[in-house]
Homo-oligomer: A and B are copies of this chain.
């Protein structure tokens, strides 16, 4: 039986094995992903992003709990060097997370931020794809929202939560410029801290500044204290409201097409490069080109154009 068949029959270990195979770039892995593909597209994908220290993983932990209480199966992909899920954070956090380890309705997969052959975003997408085919109802993708890569990853989520926190310095808040545009819901976490109201107000003002048509989604600002589960019900309600919004007027279909376009482009870029590079590497030409470029005998632009000419039809 293929790994894909086992996964479709609910074999958790087979899923874990395929995820490892994908990460290691094993030859057969792509064939398994192809077999799973027709069974994907059912999971609802929730992105959780924000600066380090915003409490994203505590919030993720509570979201798992909330979705589980509705009897939904939950997959988690953690791409965050500061997340206890991905092994980056302090010990206490990691132990806290382990309470889900024995729940068969929860599957957590963490990705380090380096060492992914086809790029981090491709790896994360492949894991979401497997979790989706496994029959997870909700897949939470947690990333630290600072680099471009990390922002790309949550861009494919159905609903993206941008988690902010009161009292981080101006320097850090400056990062939010980049992640503001991708938020469907803004969360002011640790809302029992001073200045929480101001942070929420600032966010609301920024949200209001953007022009929208009357039927367009206007991102709400939700205040939470994830550690005490405060505000979690309101947050889950907003996630459901955004889902309802997406389900109307073919928005979900357009979202799916946008996601497919991004996935196709990303894969095309990686595979084109991998194939052409391995060919010229097999011909032992990479070393010569690199030396010629380093010695200024040829410029890298011309070197690349010559490769394109001889390898593209």
Is the Cβ of B264 less than 8 Å from the Cβ of A303? yes
Chain B residues, CB < 8 A from A260:
290-291, 293-294, 300
Chain B residues, CB < 8 A from A149:
147-149
Is the Cβ of B300 less than 8 Å from the Cβ of A267? yes
Taking the full assembly, how many copies of this chain does it contain? 2
Whether A34 sits at the interface, judged by CB under 8 Å, is yes
Chain B residues, CB < 8 A from A312:
272, 275-276, 311-313
Chain B residues, CB < 8 A from A146:
52, 144, 146-147
Is the Cβ of A261 less than 8 Å from the Cβ of B276? no
Is the Cβ of B268 less than 8 Å from the Cβ of A34? no
Whether A201 sits at the interface, judged by CB under 8 Å, is no
Chain B residues, CB < 8 A from A30:
301
Whether A38 sits at the interface, judged by CB under 8 Å, is yes
CB distance from A250 to the nearest CB of B (A): 12
Of the residues B120, B272, B310, contact of A313 by C-beta under 8 Å: B310
A283 to B51, CA, bound (A): 42
Whether A150 sits at the interface, judged by CB under 8 Å, is yes
| Contact stretch, chosen from A63-71, A170-178, A214-222, A226-234 | A170-178
In chain A between 275 and 313, which residues have their CB closer than 8 angstroms to a CB of chain B? Answer: 275-277, 286, 289-291, 293-294, 296, 299-305, 307-308, 310-313
Whether A77 sits at the interface, judged by CB under 8 Å, is no
A70 to B201, CA, bound (A): 49
CB distance from A97 to the nearest CB of B (A): 15
A38 to B146, CA, bound (A): 36
Seed contacts A34-B301, A52-B146, A89-B170; 17 additional CB < 8 Å A-B pairs: A33-B301, A38-B299, A41-B296, A51-B52, A82-B171, A88-B174, A88-B177, A113-B148, A114-B178, A147-B149, A253-B294, A260-B294, A261-B290, A263-B293, A265-B273, A310-B313, A311-B312
8 contacts between A and B (CB under 8 A): A52-B146, A81-B178, A146-B146, A147-B147, A264-B293, A265-B273, A276-B312, A312-B312
- Chain A interface (Cβ < 8 Å from any Cβ of B): 30, 33-34, 37-38, 40-41, 51-53, 81-82, 88-90, 113-114, 120, 144, 146-150, 169-172, 174-175, 177-178, 253, 256-257, 259-261, 263-265, 267-269, 271-273, 275-277, 286, 289-291, 293-294, 296, 299-305, 307-308, 310-313
